[in-house]
């Protein structure tokens, strides 16, 4: 998902250089949404992984 955000930023930069301000703004918005969604998913899976790891280590002991 971060890769898609970076691709959207590159497309926005190219569009801005070519003078397509509206398209560039749209792609920047898309990149922001993808970036924050990726950060949120990372945080959720990090917490779930830590909780699952504690459950497994308690079961082994």
Domain boundaries, the chain: 2-51
Both structure tokens of 45 = 């899976």
Roughly how many angstroms between the first and final C-alpha of the chain, as a whole number?
37
pLDDT at 29: 95
Other CB atoms within a 10 A radius of the CB of residue 34 amount to 19
Rg for the chain, CA atoms, rounded: 19
Residue appearing with tokens 């250089």: 17
Q: What is the per-residue pLDDT for 1? A: 86
Whether the Cβ atoms of residue 61 and residue 46 lie closer than 8 Å to each other: no
The predicted structure's pLDDT at residue 18:
96
Residue 57 pLDDT > 70: no
- 11-29, pLDDT tens digit by residue? 999 999 999 999 999 999 9
């Amino acid at each position: 998902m971060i890769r898609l955000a970076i691709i959207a930023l590159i497309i926005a930069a190219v569009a801005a250089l070519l003078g397509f301000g509206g398209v560039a703004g749209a792609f920047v918005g898309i990149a922001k949404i993808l970036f924050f969604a990726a950060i949120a998913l990372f945080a959720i899976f990090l917490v779930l992984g830590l909780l699952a790891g504690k459950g497994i280590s308690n079961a082994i002991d």
